[in-house]
């Protein structure tokens, strides 16, 4: 990755190491994904974990979409 900025890198990435993510790996409609819990039994799609390119074209699975969570999800 190439990053060019007029300010020092320490200022740009300050606090990056201390960030925590509350993502859960789950499966919805047979597609593995990372979601961020956002309510009772629902999660916001963060990232798909699929080798099928057509899954990424599904607008219902786009990042930011809300999907129901299953009881089999694992927390990161």
For 1-76, where are the E strands, in sequence order?
Answer: 24-28, 31-39, 42-48, 66-68, 74-75
Q: What does the pLDDT read at residue 9?
A: 81
* Mean pLDDT computed over 1-22: 80
* Mean pLDDT computed over 22-31: 91
Alpha-carbon distance 25 to 76, whole Å? 7
How many other CB atoms are found less than 10 A from the CB of residue 73? 18
Tokens of 6: 């007029």
| Cross-strand pairs, 11 | none
Of the chain, the percentage scoring pLDDT greater than 70 comes to: 91
Q: What does the pLDDT read at residue 1?
A: 66
């Amino acid at each position: 990755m190439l990053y060019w900025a007029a300010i020092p890198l320490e200022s740009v990435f300050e606090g990056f190491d201390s960030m925590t993510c509350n993502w859960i790996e789950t499966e919805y409609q047979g597609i593995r994904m990372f979601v961020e819990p956002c309510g009772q039994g629902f999660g916001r799609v963060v990232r798909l974990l699929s080798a099928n390119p057509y899954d990424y074209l599904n607008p219902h699975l786009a990042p930011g979409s809300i999907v129901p969570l299953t009881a089999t999800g694992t927390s990161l």
